[in-house]
Amino acid sequence: MPELRRYWPIAAAAVLFRLALVLFPGDLNLGSRPEVATPLSSLRRLAEGYWLKQSSLSPYAGSMYHGSPLLLPILGPLIANRIEGRPMYFYCSFLFVIVDFISAILIRATGQKLFISNQQNNKSLKLPGKINLVSNLAKENAGDVASLIYLWNPLTIVTCLGSCTTPIDNLMVILTIYGACSGVAPLAAFGYVMATHLSLYPAILIIPVILLLGHGPDAPPSKLFKRTIRPFSWKPIIYFVVWALIWTFHVLLLCSISLKGVGGLHEMFRKTYGFTLKVEDLSPNIGVLWYFFAEVFEFFRDFFLIVFHVNILFMLLPLAIRLKHRPCFLAFVYVAIVAMLKSYPSVGDSALYLGLLGLFASELADMQFSFFLFFGYIGVTLLSPVMHNLWIWRGTGNSNFYFATGLAYACLQTVLVVESVSSMLKHDRMLKRLVSA
């Protein structure tokens, strides 16, 4: 299997770079950045929830904590133990470095699975000679590229150090995709249940997961094959469903044990999923919904809440129909759409889909606007903190400036998603031409 040369040194360098930043004596205070930590993922709020739980109150008392009750016993003690002269969440940052590394490894493994299936497909289509004409990247392992993109993406690094629980959410999503790609139903079910439990939106990944388990990893459109090489198999899907039910039962059981006597599951759903769906917190973030709901007239609020959430669901089916032969890519598109339209987005969500984007480097090689997108991302990530500073800290700016960067960011993500879908479809068309030629 061809490997990117010097993969391990570069990955190790990324981890060392993170460790250096964790050990950095000053407090970088990334945890208070609205771009990094959202009300759902902030460790500071988690610490408050842990404190409330320790004082035998419900962790959801008040409106501070909106995360999972399962994170409290894991991260809580790490937060409570502080060392003088070190940043607040020293131990947690260490944990997140490990989590990030595992995510990168899983992305790499997913890439390898995709690569192998790609090779097989090319062989069965008798394309190996022709594909080289299309892209010289095809020979390289996209998994290595994606993994390194994930590790060295500044957004990932910021998220990792930014004292928020997003790295764990991302790990669970990646675990789902990896598990489904490699056909391990229990693992996929675990990742899926956990990811949904932690942040609700990954629930829509059920479609790509089922397609992955049924069809196997990404392949050119099935019409191209003279005969179907792998029929849709229901067995792993039934496995997946059974395992998902088992994991759900376990998660709910653990949650109800941990919330026994202090609110129970009903309060948990109200404070986590309800909080996500109702967009109750209007503090600024890189999305557009906070400002929208701070400004929109109260009697339209419910209507627009439905509109925005339905917008996520609306595209699921059309995308699934057009991209059913590429479930992994479909998962990437879903993740990107969620990152764009979710109620409390952060750069950690972008880090996830940008990492996954690397998996399709060879297919998307001739994507349009990549130059514009690259510098657009850089521009927004630089401008957004400036505008935030001008508005919140200096008082010389105005909320509209910050909102404008949010709008620009949403546009960029739109262009990225649409262009990647478009070029993937083009790639399939090109394959068809090559096969029929």
Partner 1 sequence: MMASHTFLSLLLFYLYTLHLVRPIHCSVGSNGFDTTSIPKEEFSEELLLKPLPDHKVLAHFHFTSTSPPSSSNGKHHHLFPKSIAQLVKKYKIRELELSFTQGRWNYDRWGASDPLSTANAKPPGVELWALFDIPTKEEIDATWRNLTHSLSGLFCASINFLESSTSHSTPLWGFLPNDGDLRYGALPREAVCTENLTPWLKLLPCRDKAGIASLLDRPSIYRGHYHSQRLKLRSDRLNGIVIEQTLSVVLQPSDRTSWSLHQLFKKSLTGKCALAKSSKVFLEIEGNLGSQNENILELVGDADMVTNDQHDHSTIYQYNVERYSEHEALDIRVNWKNPLQVSFPQAPLHASRFLMGSGNERGSIAISLQSARNTTKGLYDGSNNCFTRVVIFQVVPWYVKVYYHTLRIYVDGEIRDTKDVVEKINVTPSEDKVSPGTLEMMLRFPCRTISAALTLDFDKGFLHIDEYPPDANQGFDIPSALVSFPDFISRRIYPDSIRSPLLQSYKGRNVVKSYTEVLLVPLTTPDFSMPYNVITFTCTVLALYFGSMVNVLRRRVGEEERLAKSKDKRRPGLIPLLISKISNKVRGIKEDSANQSQSSQPILGPKVVFKVVLIALIAVLGHYFLNAN
Which C-beta is closer to partner 1: that of 69 or that of 216? 69
Residue whose token pair is 């620009």: 408
The footprint of partner 1 on residues 177-236 (CB under 8 A) is: none
Q: Mind giving me the DSSP string for 280-325?
A: ------SSSHHHHHHHS-GGGHHHHHHHHHHHHHHTHHHHHHHTTT
Out of 177, 391, 405, 427, the residue judged to bind partner 1 by CB under 8 A: 391
Out of 261, 297, 396, 437, the residue judged to bind partner 1 by CB under 8 A: 297
Regarding 366 and contact with partner 1 (CB under 8 A), the answer is: no
Distance of CA 61 to CAs 208, 235, 267, 425, Å?
A: 37, 44, 9, 49
Out of 183, 280, 368, 373, the residue judged to bind partner 1 by CB under 8 A: 280
> Do residues 139 and 2 touch, judged by C-beta distance below 8 A?
yes
Which C-beta is closer to partner 1: that of 57 or that of 95? 57
Which C-beta is closer to partner 1: that of 148 or that of 347? 347
Out of 234, 235, 256, 295, the residue judged to bind partner 1 by CB under 8 A: 295
Instruction: Count other Cβ atoms within 10 Å, centred on residue 73.
Output: 12
Q: Contact region for partner 1 (CB under 8 A) — 14-22, 180-188, 210-218, 414-422?
A: 414-422
Q: Contact region for partner 1 (CB under 8 A) — 117-125, 129-137, 168-176, 398-406?
A: 398-406
Q: Give every CB contact of residue 14 below 8 A, 6+ residues apart in sequence.
A: 104, 148, 151, 152, 157
Which C-beta is closer to partner 1: that of 241 or that of 411? 411
Out of 314, 372, 374, 375, the residue judged to bind partner 1 by CB under 8 A: 314
Q: Which two tokens stand for residue 246?
A: 């088992």
Q: Contact region for partner 1 (CB under 8 A) — 19-27, 56-64, 196-204, 367-375?
A: 56-64
Q: Which two tokens stand for residue 259?
A: 């919330």
Alpha carbon distance 69, 197 (integer Å): 10
Q: Contact region for partner 1 (CB under 8 A) — 43-51, 90-98, 125-133, 179-187?
A: 43-51
| The amino acid at 49 | G
Regarding 393 and contact with partner 1 (CB under 8 A), the answer is: yes
Out of 136, 228, 256, 400, the residue judged to bind partner 1 by CB under 8 A: 400
CA 378 from chain center: how many Å? 19
Out of 117, 120, 370, 399, the residue judged to bind partner 1 by CB under 8 A: 399
Q: Which two tokens stand for residue 148?
A: 């390194």
Instruction: Count other Cβ atoms within 10 Å, centred on residue 360.
Output: 24
Q: Contact region for partner 1 (CB under 8 A) — 9-17, 123-131, 348-356, 409-417?
A: 409-417
Closest approach of Cβ 315 to partner 1, in Å?
6
Strands (E), 151-221: none
CA 237 from chain center: how many Å? 23
Out of 136, 233, 256, 311, the residue judged to bind partner 1 by CB under 8 A: 311
Angle 68-73-78 (CA atoms, 0-180°, nearest 5)? 110
Query: Is the CA virtual torsion 311, 317, 322, 323 positive or negative?
Result: positive
Write out the residues near partner 1 by the rule CB under 8 A. Answer: 32, 44-45, 47-48, 50-52, 55, 57, 61-64, 280-284, 288-298, 307-308, 311, 314-315, 318-319, 322, 340-341, 391-393, 395, 398-400, 403, 407, 410-411, 414-415, 417-418, 421-422, 425, 429, 432
